[in-house]
Structures are given as structure tokens and as C-alpha cells.
Amino acid sequence: MRSAKSTTPKKTKTLHCIYLTILVLLLTAFIPVFSQDNSPYSRYGIGDMIPHSHIISRGMGSVSAGYSDIISINFNNPASYSSFQAGVETKSKKIISGRAILDVGLDFESRSLKDPANPKKFNASNALFSYLQVGMPIRKNWGIAFGLRPVSRISYKMINYARLKDPITGQPIDSAITRYEGDGGAYLASLGTGFSIFNNEKTGEKLSFGINAGYFFGKKDYSSRRSFINDTVNYFQANYETRTNFGDIYFNAGLQYKTPLNKKINLAIGAYGNWGQKINARQDILRETFVYDDNLGDVRLDSVSDQRDVRGKITMPSSFTVGFVAQKLIFQEKDRKEPGWIIGLDFSIHNWDSYRMYGQKDSVRNTWEVRIGGQFNPVPKIKGYFSNITYRAGLFMGPDYIKVGKNLPRFGGSFGMGLPVALNRQAPNQYSMINVAFEYGKRGNSNNLLRENLFRFSLGFSLSDLWFGKRKYD
């Protein structure tokens, strides 16, 4: 009598993936509650930009244009989806098995803001959801990926005490307290595909193209609340608030060309980018007086202007990135093994001068960034775990896209590791990797109003397994 082989390992793996996905979604919901971020620079543009690359890439300075592998998802360049491992095809062109990937990332940040003219500094910590992505092959040299990731974050709260002056006479009048607050950010839910348009298996040359289509959405809520300080005259408090919600379809595309340089080293040249796109938006514009109640908070007294559901457009800038990756795999010849390595370089440009919010310019500027990094793979040993770890490092530099006063320089470095998870002997096709990245960055110098130091620890899980497997019988 024939009996089907046990599918318990696969079911167990599937359950683990489901549990991890639910955990990440719960963390996504509750983590913002503990957020203590406060960055005045997030007032401009669409806010502070969140790292836009996989944690593997971040460990290498965020090099990503030419990078691809079979156990992670490079969602920056959708052409890399063509490298997902598709397994074996039958004579009828049906896939026997294909390696599917679940990628999850979390960020833990600590930043400090300092005014060069003031010895005090402000410290803040934050924990954030980074990305949730799923990738799988359709067939050989053709894959798809979908997921969700944040793009930017708006979070600031400042209080200013000032002596006001009469705009006509220039004479000082009452003192006032002004509270500046902002909240919001942008997200991208995307679905993409990447496929080979030229593949020469004899020479190893391969040209791939990919495209991501997604829904770009978010909100931008900022307000200025002013209260006068006067012992004899009771002034009403004023609130100037603008709330913007936006959302629309968003696209980006990429190319990758791979060719062997010799028997041991491969070269991959990549490029990706997006064209300028207009996003639909709706605004509520409030100009009102209010009083503060201990139980109810701010309570409106009178409305000077109240415009609701004002429709408009947000013009997002075009961007372009080009780069290369040279890779030497762990090389084995007879009984001799050599370690593997990767070195790469990216150059990006972003046309933020074209950014418009309801037709209005903002304090942003065109910017560029150079990223360089690498990875080292020691020769793996069965009994030596540290020789199985992947080590990464990188550097990045370029001016920030926010322009307040003089240019805002930005530079930093990163270090990362890929920590393999012990394999289940009952499920040899399963492979899991824990990726960590440590990033340190500086924004601004003594010529700027504020200097910012940022330390970020990123934790990612790359889980992969062979799906679509045929049932076998004893």
C-alpha cells in the first residue's frame, strides 16, 4: 500500500510564516504609540525620508542598483525579480517547485538634535516598521513581488517664546507662545514583476527588465497655535492648521545586465528610477480661535476660515539611480575553497526642484547621493558558525533634499551581517536568514540651524521555501 510522505514540515513552515506576518502587522499597529521622534526638518517636502532599501543593502551603504539574490527581495530595482529561483520545469512547462520569499524588516532609531549656538541637545528614540514583502517565481527568469513599506515620516513638535512687534511701527508688543506641530507620512503598497528579455546560458549574459506599480498614499497635518502672554487682557488663542490626505497610482522601473568577467567573478550593472508623477490630494484648511479644556483639549470658539475637501495635486519628483556590483561567489576547485565577496557602487539623482504642493514650491532642492559598499563571505565550515556569517560594510554621502538656509550635508556609514538560521533536517529546502544593519549618519554642520546625529539598528528576516512541489509517494 502506498502512502503519501508527511507534509508536516511544510505545514509547520507555513504556520511560522503566518505567525510572523501577524506579529509584524501587530507591531506596525502598536509601535507608533511608543514613538518619540521630533525632527523639525520633517516639516518640509513629504517629510523625513525613511531608508528605501532592503536591510541587506543597507549594511552595504544601501547599494542596490545591480544587486540581486535568490533569498531576498531587492524592491528598489524590480528587474532583480527575474533572479528568483524557479526550480525545474517539466516537458509541459509546468513548474515542479519554486522558491518563495517572505521579507520582513524593523527599524530602531536613536537621534539627537543640536543647535550649534546652544550646548543643550534633544534626544529621541523610535521603533518603526520598515517593510513587508513577498516574492515568488512565475517561471524561470520571471518573478513577481508585492508588499508594503513606508516612504517618509512627519513628526515634530516645537514651542517658541517670542516678543512680538507691531508690523507698522516696529515697536514691541505682547509676548506670545507659538506651538508648531506636524504629523503624518507616506506609504507605498506595490506589486511588481521582473523578467529576462535576453539570456545566454552559454556565456552567462543576462538582461532583465522590471516594473513596480503601486498605490502611494499618506497624510500631512501641520499646525501653528499661538497664545498671548498677558496678565490684564484675555486674548483668544489662534490655530492655523492644514490637513492634507493624498493617494494615487505610482510607478517605477529598472534594468539589470549581468555578465561574467572571468571564471570566478561576475559583473552586474543596474539602473532604476521613476518619472515625475502627480498625486491626487484633498485638503482641509482651518483658521480658528480656540480655548484649552483640561478634559476636552483644544475647543473651537470661532471659525475665521473653514475650507473642507479642497482638491489638488502633489507633484512628486523624478529620480534615477545607476550602479554596479562585482561579485565573486565562494569558489571551489577540487578540494580547495576560496571565500566570496561583493563590491558595489550606486549614484542617485532626485529632481526635487519640481516638487509642488497644490502648485506651491517648498524648501527643497535637487539632490544627489553616492553609495559604496561590499560584502564578505568566508569559506563555510560545518562546525564553524562565524565562518558561515556574511559580513557587510558601506558608506554614503550627499546633500539632503531639504533646504533651510544653506545646503544640508548628509553622510554616514553602515555595518551589517547575515546570520543563517539552522536548517530543519526534515525540511532541507527551507532556508532562513536574519539580517542586521547598523547605520550612523550625520545631517548638517556648524553652518546649519540644527545638526542631527542618527543611529539606526535594523533587523530583518528573510524566509524562503520551495513551493508548488509535487506530492511524492513511497
Taking a C-beta distance cutoff of 8 angstroms, is the pair 313, 358 a contact?
yes
Amino acid at 18: I
> Cα(295)–Cα(289) distance, rounded to whole angstroms?
18
Residue 3 lies in a domain: no
Residue 473 lies in a domain: no
DSSP assignment of 382-440 equals: TTBGGGG-EEEEEEEEEE-SB-BSB--EEEEEEEEEEEEPPPPTT-TT-EEEEEEEEEE
Residue 474 lies in a domain: no
Taking a C-beta distance cutoff of 8 angstroms, is the pair 79, 209 a contact?
yes
pLDDT tens for each residue of 357-401: 999 999 999 999 999 999 999 887 766 788 889 999 999 999 999
Q: Determine the 3-state secondary structure of 370 from DSSP.
A: strand
Structural domain range at position 329: 8-467
The average confidence (pLDDT) of the chain is 84
> Cα(145)–Cα(459) distance, rounded to whole angstroms?
20
Residue 307 lies in a domain: yes
Residue 90 lies in a domain: yes
Residue 248 lies in a domain: yes
Q: Is the pLDDT of residue 4 over 50?
A: no
Contacts of 99 (CB under 8 A, 6+ apart): 70, 71, 84, 85, 86, 87, 136, 137, 429, 464, 465, 466, 467
301 alpha-carbon distance from chain centroid: 42
What is the total count of domains within the chain? 1
| Residue in 106, 73, 287, 92 with CA at minimum distance from that of residue 192 | 73
Give the up-direction half-sphere exposure of residue 10: CA atoms within 13 A in the CB hemisphere. 14
Residue 64, C-alpha cell as written in the block: 542596490
Higher pLDDT, 391 or 235: 391
pLDDT tens for each residue of 333-357: 656 667 789 999 999 999 999 999 9
CATH number, domain with residue 436: 2.40.160
